[in-house]
Amino acid sequence: MRLSSLRSRLLAAVAGFTPLAAALGQQQIISFTGSDGAFQVAGGSISQPQILISSNDYWGVIRAAGDLAKDFGRVTGTNFTLSNGEAGAEPAAYEYRPITTNYTHYATSDPQFFRGPEYADPSAENTVIIAGTLGHSKIIDDLVSAGKLDASDIEGKWESFMTQIVEEPVAGCSKAVVIVGSDPRGTIFGIYDISEQIGVSPWYWWADVPVKQNKEIYVLPDGKVQGPPSVKYRGFFINDEQPGLSGWVQWNYPDTPYGVGYNADFYSNVFELLLRLRANYLWPALWGTMFEIDDPANQPLADAWEIVLGSSHTEPMMRAQNEFGTFYIDKGLGPWAYNLNNKTIDEYFVYGAQRAKPYARNSLWTMGMRGTGDTAIEGLGVEFIVEMLETLVEHQRAIIEDVLDIKATEAPQLWCLYKEVMSYILQGLTIPEDITLLWADDNWGNVRRVPIDNETTRSGGAGVYYHFDYVGDTRNYKWINTIQLEKTAEQMQLAYEHGADRIWIVNVGDLKPLEIPLTHFLDMAYDIKQWDVDSVGNWTLAWATREFGPEHAGAITEIMIRFGMFAARRKFELVEPWVYSVVNYNEGDAILGQWQGLVDDAQAIYDQLDEAHQPAFFEMVLHPILGGQIVHQVHIGAAKNAVWANQHRNSANDMISQVLSSFNADGNLTATWDSLLDGKWKRMLDQTHFGYDGYWQQPMRNVLPAMAYVQTTVSATAGNVGIAVEGLNASIPGDDKYHANSGNNLVLPPLDPYGPVTRWFDVFSRGTMNCDWWAETDTPWVKLSQYKGTVGPDNGTDSRVFVSIDWENAPQVVNNTMANINFSTGCGTEGFANWYGKPIVQLPINLRSIPSNFTEGFVESDKHVAIEGPHYQRVYTPEGVAADSDISYHTLKNYGRTLGGVTLWPQTAPPQTTESAPALEYDLYLFTNISKANVTLYLSPTQNYLSDNTPLEFAVSLFPAGAEQAAPEVVQFVGESVGAGMPPGWARAVGDSIWGLAPEHSTTTTWNVPQEGAYTLRVWGLAPSVIIQKIVLDLGGVRTSYLGPPENFLIGRDERGVYRQTSFADGPGVLGGMN
């Protein structure tokens, strides 16, 4: 297993986090052993304990109390009973009137009812829990009036609750645990807090987390007060739900009149999950459904459960997107164009308000309007659109006032500033003060805007619409989890610190594959002080402990931290054969090695888990890891096939077989998923994920990438044996487009005392004969890992030979030399054809040293210096800036693509200049003098979150150590967003997970390096969220790769010969490192 030091720290922390894990960071009130003052609620003298509620409480509270009664049964084997204090009581009823089937004119039919849980006759002596809502529960209000309960800490607060032991709460009951909420959801959260702490995970049904069994359950004496959540409205958007979720729904629920079965039975499971996750807000499924129409019970059921119902950015006024097309356009009632059809559209909005009126207490209204089917309004000009939208919203608010008979300011509303709508703000769009500004990310987890200036004081506040799933440019990502929690934490805390605390809503696609990032997102929204940007590791540890127990929690945490980085480097759908280099920096093999190590570790945990825990572990941990490994095996294998076929290797065909085997393993993995738990989740993972060919939309079937097959019956013209080297696609002997015609030599990347410890060349078969081969060097202190071998179709494989230097016996002088490696074969001219010169591999050797007074810093090798951002030597403070300034730098651990990131701090710091901000300082020793040395920063794909009027910037200065600082070059690296468009270069930035890799990115500055010597590199992030992941100084030697060269040798940290430096995974501190 990898990262033993991280794992040991996590394991040591498990014991301390076990109480927190009971309710993921919330105060522990449950124990399974007795203690002074603790009250036993299960396993004592009472054979069937009872929960007491009031008949006048909210139906949703009574229903949740029924869940708690069943949860105790799941844990102890004996259900608690539920009573409203009345003998022979009928179950609580929620009355509603279903809408009729005329969906253009509002009308309802006869009343129908939702029935609550069954009541038992009251038994005061068996009552151990009392639950109720302040001001809406006679029992609770009587306790307050009698002075037995002081609820002042929660009174009038949003979704707050308290839990405490009360003596003689009702006649005949000596003691009971009282759960009181400030409002109905406060009570419900208090109820589910108990459920979670006794051992029922919120994911017991959706992810098959087994319930922890205990007979003895105690409530601790200290009591608990849980104040308002950090974010008022917290929830998720079911979207992009075809084929996965919709296929599963179709498999499990009867179709509705207008589509697959997104009915009340389905949504009851969704509502329960929301509430158990301490969330309150839902945007229902959108694509092929109509929430309020598909099942007329859906909307009233949400209200009954106390779910705040909303609708997405493209569905204003509580009407589903598909309603207008189905019941208006198809019936000849005009287009979805307010400038042409405003009377009909206003009537459409009136119907939505009428339908929602009975449930207005739990409604959050989406305002505004976009084009048809999640598109922009087109063909009208921005000024006209802005004026039209202001009129439209004025009409919408008038409709709310008229239909609901309230002031518009009393109905919570939002305007989602998604895609093109955000740009209307800059064009002068005026939004009423009380409407929440719901800012959006860029669909790839990068917040586009936070509240600024007077937006921060609006009565409606601000929120964020975020994405864990997306359909659209630059490409869909909707198969399985590819979310790095550390990035979510940084971006959402950034938004929160700037005042976006009214609404957090996240697109979760099919819901099922995104259990972990969704839980983390909602836990942050509930208590961001507990789960801030630096608490991701602790959160993951608490999550793993809750779901799988403390024994394996540390190991699972370390596994999931690695997975988050590996998966988020590039969404699985965007991995292609060209992405990772298979010739430079051993990148492709290092990626495969990391995934193999992760699979090994995850499989080992799975094998050790008891059978009950294995399904949940497979669903949330092992399956996405196996799936991620297969994706990389297929595409990196296809890349090797392409290179090897160009080199005419026989093994190109073997690689086809390997890739095909991996591809088939992907299909088998889906089949395993479909058979899990007797097919419970069959079709949930039908989403295609292979076969994207430059088009953003999903392929209709999984398809392998293109590969080339080498003819096996005829040998290569240049002979049966070929040679290729690290860093090149070329091969010898013979001709190809990668080196000079008839050239017989290839040059390896150089070796020097401070660079990689080895280079490699391959000897391979490209014919029909088995051939022995020999290699010899003309320099005695140049060593090969293998001097002879056999390649051929029958009894030999390709040989990878590593070249190294015996530095102790190398000349102790400073110079550059070239060593030659010569080859011969045992099959004469059949090995190397005689019309080409004998092949030679050349190795440049840089015999060099650094002065003794350079005691700390990075040393140039192979004409470059690569540095992980967090590995700076010091922070430089400009003259005139106080040493105790609040502005500093903060390291984001386990973040980004390889190791971490560094950003200006705190997140509320205003934009800075090079005169006001500290700088990160890196010490370098350079050997190459060059007039154009390029310093490229790999920066997280942040957006201009303070608006395009305040663009993000960084600055760089490179100068000889001890000399006067060179004038910093200040760079604006994020361009403007125009309309629905993103900044120039954005598509590559989000695809690559950094600004800085694509030629069109502006993260490179150019400097003069006049002579060998020590240099100082200063880097300024001139605003928070300018996150520096890696720095690459190119002195003419950087080769193409996805992650950049391995980090260079650091004097004072690294030991020669120990730090291998052959791939990025060798780097000290690299997550999932192979060192």
Chain segment 679-711, per-residue pLDDT in tens: 999 999 999 999 998 889 999 999 999 999 999
Q: Are 983 and 1035 in contact, with CB atoms under 8 Å apart? A: no
Q: Would you place residue 1029 in the very low, low, confident or very high pLDDT band (cuts 50, 70, 90)?
A: very high
Share of the chain above pLDDT 90, in %: 92
Q: Whose structure tokens read 């490994």?
A: 629
Mean pLDDT calculated for residue range 634-659:
97
Q: Are 508 and 467 in contact, with CB atoms under 8 Å apart? A: no
pLDDT above 60 for 466: yes
CA distance to 328, 537, 538, 545, per residue, from 25 (Å): 49, 13, 9, 11
Smallest Cα–Cα separation from 533: which of 1066, 908, 269?
Answer: 908
CA distance to 186, 502, 657, 960, 1012, per residue, from 229 (Å): 10, 10, 54, 52, 58
| Three-state secondary-structure class, residue 36 | coil
pLDDT of residue 605: 98
pLDDT above 60 for 1002: yes
Most distant CA atoms of the chain, gap in Å: 107
Mean pLDDT calculated for residue range 753-757:
97
Listed in sequence order, the residues at least 6 apart from 142 whose beta carbon sits closer than 8 Å to its beta carbon are none
For helices 536-548 and 515-526, give the axis angle rounded to 10 degrees: 120
Separation of alpha carbons 958 and 1013, rounded Å: 12
Q: Measured in whole angstroms, how far is the alpha carbon of residue 737 from the centre of its chain?
A: 41
CA distance to 913, 1047, 1052, 1064, per residue, from 866 (Å): 26, 5, 16, 10
Q: pTM of this prediction?
A: 0.97
pLDDT above 70 for 188: yes
pLDDT of residue 11: 54
**Percentage helix, strand, coil for the chain under 3-state DSSP, each rounded to 5:** 30, 20, 50
Beta strand extents in 279-380 (DSSP E only): 281-283, 308-309, 365-366
Mean pLDDT calculated for residue range 650-671:
97
Mean pLDDT calculated for residue range 648-663:
97
Listed in sequence order, the residues at least 6 apart from 744 whose beta carbon sits closer than 8 Å to its beta carbon are 732, 733, 836, 837, 838, 839, 840
pLDDT above 50 for 1: no
pLDDT above 50 for 330: yes
Beta bridge mates, 745: 840
pLDDT of residue 22: 60
Sign for the CA dihedral angle at 559, 561, 564, 569 comes to negative
pLDDT above 70 for 318: yes
Mean pLDDT calculated for residue range 631-656:
97
pLDDT of residue 694: 85
Separation of alpha carbons 465 and 323, rounded Å: 23
Query: In 804-814, which positions are buried (b, 16+ CB within 10 angstroms) versus exposed (e)?
Result: bbeeeebeeee
CA distance to 442, 860, 977, 999, per residue, from 424 (Å): 16, 49, 11, 31
Helix H segments across 253-337?
264-276, 291-294, 298-304, 321-324
pLDDT above 90 for 599: yes
- Average pLDDT of the chain, as a whole number: 95
Mean pLDDT calculated for residue range 626-639:
98
Separation of alpha carbons 565 and 1029, rounded Å: 13
Separation of alpha carbons 17 and 541, rounded Å: 8
What is the DSSP-derived secondary structure letter of residue 445? S
Tens of pLDDT along 128-138?
A: 999 999 999 99
Mean pLDDT calculated for residue range 290-303:
98
Beta bridge mates, 921: 874, 1018
The token pair that represents 22 in the structure block: 């009971």
pLDDT above 80 for 202: yes
Mean pLDDT calculated for residue range 199-206:
98
Mean pLDDT calculated for residue range 440-464:
97
The token pair that represents 45 in the structure block: 């003298």
Mean pLDDT calculated for residue range 68-85:
98
The token pair that represents 245 in the structure block: 């979720």
Tens of pLDDT along 554-583?
A: 999 999 999 999 999 999 999 999 999 999
Separation of alpha carbons 690 and 699, rounded Å: 7
Peptide bond into 243 cis (omega under 30): yes
pLDDT above 50 for 180: yes
Q: Are 563 and 613 in contact, with CB atoms under 8 Å apart? A: no
The token pair that represents 706 in the structure block: 């293109």
pLDDT above 50 for 1068: yes
Range in 23-27, 278-282, 532-536, 612-616 with the lowest mean pLDDT? 23-27
Q: Measured in whole angstroms, how far is the alpha carbon of residue 662 from the centre of its chain?
A: 25
| Three-state secondary-structure class, residue 660 | helix
pLDDT of residue 1075: 58
Separation of alpha carbons 104 and 270, rounded Å: 28
Q: Measured in whole angstroms, how far is the alpha carbon of residue 229 from the centre of its chain?
A: 23
Peptide bond into 855 cis (omega under 30): no
pLDDT of residue 7: 59
Q: Letter for the amino acid at 921?
A: E
Separation of alpha carbons 523 and 542, rounded Å: 11
pLDDT above 50 for 2: no
Please count the residues of the chain: 1075
pLDDT of residue 19: 46
Task: Tally Cβ neighbours within 10 Å of residue 1023.
Answer: 23
pLDDT above 50 for 1071: yes
Classify strands 233-237 and 281-283 as parallel, antiparallel or unpaired.
parallel
Mean pLDDT calculated for residue range 1021-1046:
98
DSSP codes joined into one string, 525-538:
HH-TTTS-TT-HHH
The radius of gyration of the chain's CA atoms, rounded to the nearest angstrom, is 32
Backbone angles phi, psi at 724, to 5 degrees: -135, 160
Q: Are 181 and 154 in contact, with CB atoms under 8 Å apart? A: yes
Mean pLDDT calculated for residue range 773-795:
94
Mean pLDDT calculated for residue range 104-122:
97
CA distance to 122, 219, 276, 429, 431, per residue, from 128 (Å): 12, 10, 22, 56, 51
The token pair that represents 44 in the structure block: 């004592």
Beta bridge mates, 1018: 921, 957
Backbone angles phi, psi at 1053, to 5 degrees: -125, -45
Three-state SS annotation for 113-156? EEECCCCCCCCHHHEEEEEEECCCCHHHHHHHHCCCCCCCCCCC
Backbone angles phi, psi at 802, to 5 degrees: -100, 135
pLDDT above 90 for 884: no
Separation of alpha carbons 29 and 481, rounded Å: 33
pLDDT of residue 724: 98
Mean pLDDT calculated for residue range 7-17:
54
Mean pLDDT calculated for residue range 806-818:
93
pLDDT of residue 740: 80
Q: Would you place residue 6 in the very low, low, confident or very high pLDDT band (cuts 50, 70, 90)?
A: low
pLDDT of residue 206: 98
Query: In 623-652, which positions are buried (b, 16+ CB within 10 angstroms) versus exposed (e)?
Result: bbbbbbbbbbbbbbbbbbbbbbbbbbbbbb
Residue 174, Ramachandran bin (φ over 0: left; ψ between -120 and 50: alpha; else beta): alpha
Mean pLDDT calculated for residue range 968-987:
92
Three-state SS annotation for 582-620? CCCCCHHHHHHHHHHHHHHHHHHHHHHCCCCCHHHHHHH
pLDDT of residue 837: 87
Q: Are 426 and 978 in contact, with CB atoms under 8 Å apart? A: no
Q: Whose structure tokens read 């997550």?
A: 1071
Q: Which residue has the higher pLDDT, 834 or 1003?
A: 1003
| Three-state secondary-structure class, residue 889 | strand
Smallest Cα–Cα separation from 495: which of 461, 472, 519, 470?
Answer: 461
Mean pLDDT calculated for residue range 940-953:
97
| Three-state secondary-structure class, residue 83 | strand
pLDDT above 50 for 3: no
